[in-house]
Amino acid sequence: MSLLAWAAMASSVAFALLLQIAFSRRAQGSSSRVFLLFCLAGLSLSLLDLGLQTAVSARAANVWARVQSCWPFLPALLFHFALVYSGIRPTRWRRLGLLVLYAIVLALTLIGLTTRQVTAGVEREAWGWTHVRPLNTATLLATVFGASVGLATVIIVFRHSVRSRGEPNRHQTRHVAIAAAIPVLTGLLTDGVLPLLGLRLPSLATVSAFFCALLLGSAIRSHGLFSLSPTLAAESIVAAISDALLLVSPAGTIQRANPAAARLLGAEERELLGQRIEAFIPPDDLPAVSGSGPAPGATPARVEVTARSRSGVRLPVAVSRTPVAAPDGTPIGTAVSMQNLTEIEQAHEMALMLDRAIATTRTGVTIRDRNGQIVYSNPADVAMHGYASLDELIGQPARVFGPPEAAAPLSVAEVESMDGLVREGLNVRKDGSVFPVRLVSDIVRSKAGRVIGVITVCEDISQRRQAEEEVRRAHEQLRATSGALIQAEKLAALGELAATVAHEINQPLNAIKISCQASLRALQRGETGPGEQDLREIADLVNRAAEVVDQVRRFVRRAEGAVVGHVDINAVVTAATALVARQLEDRHIELVQDLAAGLPGVIGDAVSLEQVLLNLIVNAKDALESGRPERRRIEVRTHRGAADRPDGGAAVVIEVADTGPGIPEHLHQEVFTPFFTTKKAGKGTGLGLAIVQRIVDQHHGKIQVHSVLGRGTRFEITLPGVAALAEAGQASS
């Protein structure tokens, strides 16, 4: 291979390595993108030159030479990279200039590819294939273009090198400047100066590209190119901060604006450039902004002014201004930072409202920091604990509110793990007195989510505890009164039975008395004593009287002595009707019992259920006393109800019906109201049905009344049954 072929191969390898290094740095930003395009262009041209120098025929060499007409892209991309690397902001006119530049590049490339104006052909020399360039306008324009763009690139980079601060940054920019200068100087020497002197040398473009790639690689690896240059870092910081930033020239025009400034002023960044600062800050407030500002290095002056967005909306802003100077100390403008005070003022107003709300609430509020020290207590909390002012509590440990024997307050970590805590306990006042409180604690977090303390809401529940105690005492008194009323109702019902009981006992006693007197007279006359038949009759009469007494004794025992167990409803009905059967018979009232067999048992108190039935039968008897004799009838029925229990157990229904005058419909619910009665004055307490309903409720049942005027009344009691009892009853029967 020729020398130029080896040079093209070396250049290709150098650009390939440079491209790999640039990719490995994962560089961001426009400068890195342009640099990668420059590396791709350099690699492409080096490979094209390698193809040219290794061509075996003139025909093949002409093809490779024609394709190499895209060489103007390389200096154009290097110039573009120099602009971005040097931090020159792309204004509207600069963007237009770049478009023109790439248009010229494209035009020169098309001319070279489609005509022989730039490259007429190739010749074989000792060092390799050489381009034959005719002397015409196109060749002259291409040469001037390459030289001008190259010189502009060198000037931009060297100027940036002079202005750079810091030794590493200077070394970096010098490497870039030399890398840009080598192709320019080589091209001017081999394609400009030497041909004018009649000297012909091989084109050293590939060799210069190789050294350019080496210097740029050194700038990347040794001096941190694309790692994080001060310019790129500054641009990133300015774009990321939330405050609006403007760079205002000494003449008062906006030269730079960050995205926050565009959002605040309601315009695009490019729309702000070149605008007068007066367009956004009214002239009355302008001197505060456009003044000389603090000296370099001093704290920026901060003033509050009213800005105006592009749409005319007035915004309260806090403005800080700092003078900006060139490296040689020449003032170049003022950096203006604006902070929107609208949200701050709204947050301040909200904080004032919240503080006022907490201060006026009657519930105590205390905030302690992570160390357990009190940092705030509202007036209600201060007064609740007997302190004169908040100053007495600030800095005190939170356990100052607890009695000495109480446990230490929960730590911040404990409250956080419980996700809030509600509890009741005892707090102590400044004078040592103790009072009950209800406490609600939760975590206080910063905007970033960091735990900064604990807030506790404290409520004095002394009055509530006192009210609860009064309610408890009243409830106990009500229970005692209710028990007494139930017992009184039993006694009242017993009074209704007094005549019948006396009659039931008096009859056997009179018979016994007559038998005994007859026996005594017989003995006095010397006759034989009473026979066996007379004694049997006396014994039966005594048993009859004892049974009546036993029934009365079982009925009048107190409810507190009641025994809850499995109850046979039919047995309860039989016992209750036995007490009133004689009384009903004396009043010519027919008592009919229709008791279904195999009913489920009921869990309850048999005596209480007897009282329920007795009250209903006595009420029916009283209602029938005003009816016609032929219609005096009471029916007591039992039957199985619907299977509406969750466990599938059937219900037991007890019905007590009479043929009395009935109850008006509007009184159906009032009959269960305590002390309500339809009986005549002096007869009845008005508690019978109220007690009946209470006993039924205690047995988890329900009672309903069905009545039609002139046709009678029917009370229906439904009690939950026990399936096991029904099965046991069927087995025993």
How confident is the model at residue 231, as a pLDDT?
Answer: 52
Consecutive 10-residue runs of the chain (733 residues): their mean pLDDT? 78 82 62 78 82 80 79 84 76 83 86 72 70 68 80 82 62 76 75 64 74 77 53 62 84 85 86 86 67 53 81 86 75 84 80 83 88 89 90 87 73 69 86 90 82 88 89 83 64 57 64 72 67 66 66 52 78 86 82 90 86 86 72 90 61 92 81 66 61 86 88 91 53 42
CB 392 within 8 A of CB 374: no
CB 205 within 8 A of CB 133: no
Pairing of strands 364-369, 331-340: unpaired
- The answer for residues whose C-beta is within 8 angstroms of residue 715's C-beta and 6 or more apart is 616, 655, 656, 657, 703, 704, 705, 706
Q: Is the dihedral of CA 426, 429, 435, 437 positive or negative?
A: negative
Pairing of strands 314-325, 331-340: antiparallel
Closest among 183, 112, 174 to 142, alpha carbons compared: 112
The string of DSSP codes covering 174-186 is: HHHHHHHHHHHHH
Tokens 């381009």 belong to which residue? 131
The string of DSSP codes covering 48-88 is: HHHHHHT-SSHHHHHHHHHHGGGTTHHHHHHHHHHHHHTT-
CA-angle at 333, arms to 330 and 336, nearest 5°:
145
The string of DSSP codes covering 83-125 is: HHHTT----HHHHHHHHHHHHHHHHHHHHHHH-SSS--EEEEE
CA separation for the pair 280, 213 (Å, rounded): 48
- The answer for residues whose C-beta is within 8 angstroms of residue 379's C-beta and 6 or more apart is 359, 390
How confident is the model at residue 560, as a pLDDT?
Answer: 46
How confident is the model at residue 717, as a pLDDT?
Answer: 93
Q: Is the dihedral of CA 164, 167, 169, 172 positive or negative?
A: positive
CA separation for the pair 135, 445 (Å, rounded): 79
Here the tokens at position 159 are 């100027």
Here the tokens at position 445 are 């977090």
Which of the 8 DSSP states describes residue 190? Answer: I
CA separation for the pair 660, 727 (Å, rounded): 38
pTM for this entry = 0.37
CB 246 within 8 A of CB 277: yes
CA torsion 622→627→631→637, rounded to 10°? -30
How confident is the model at residue 724, as a pLDDT?
Answer: 40
The string of DSSP codes covering 361-386 is: -SSEEEEEETTSBEEEE-HHHHHHTT
CA torsion 408→412→418→421, rounded to 10°? 60
CB 62 within 8 A of CB 122: yes
Centroid of chain to Cα 449:
14
CB 7 within 8 A of CB 210: yes
- For residue 460, the cross-strand partners are 437
Which of the 8 DSSP states describes residue 141? Answer: H
